[in-house]
Amino acid sequence: MKLCRSYDDTKAYTPAWAEQITGVPRAQIIRIAREFADNADKTHGRSMIIVVPV
């Protein structure tokens, strides 16, 4: 089974790799990652609440 057991147990993956696995375009992955990073900075790490307009 492949899983992370700690924060030190990491491996870098690219948006291109994730695109192949998920079908989500790499540009969208990059945009969302940047939005999370920007929000995490502004909220001191509280960036996991996602509100989707209906």
26-43 and 15-22 are packed helices; what angle lies between their axes, rounded to 10 degrees?
120
In a domain, 7, yes or no: no
The count of domains in the chain is 1
State residue 34's pLDDT score. Answer: 93
Question: What distance in Å separates the CA atoms of residue 23 and residue 53, rounded to the nearest whole number?
Answer: 22
> What is the value of pTM for the model shown?
0.64
In a domain, 41, yes or no: yes
Does 37 fall in a domain?
yes
Give a yes or no: residue 1 inside a domain.
no
Give the residue numbers spanning the domain of 20. 14-45
What's residue 9's pLDDT? 73
Residue 32 domain-assigned (yes or no): yes
Residue 31 lies in a domain: yes
Residue 51 counted as domain residue: no
Q: Which tens digits make up the pLDDT trace of 1-54?
A: 566 677 777 777 899 999 999 999 999 999 999 998 898 888 887 776 667 777
Quote the pLDDT of residue 53.
79
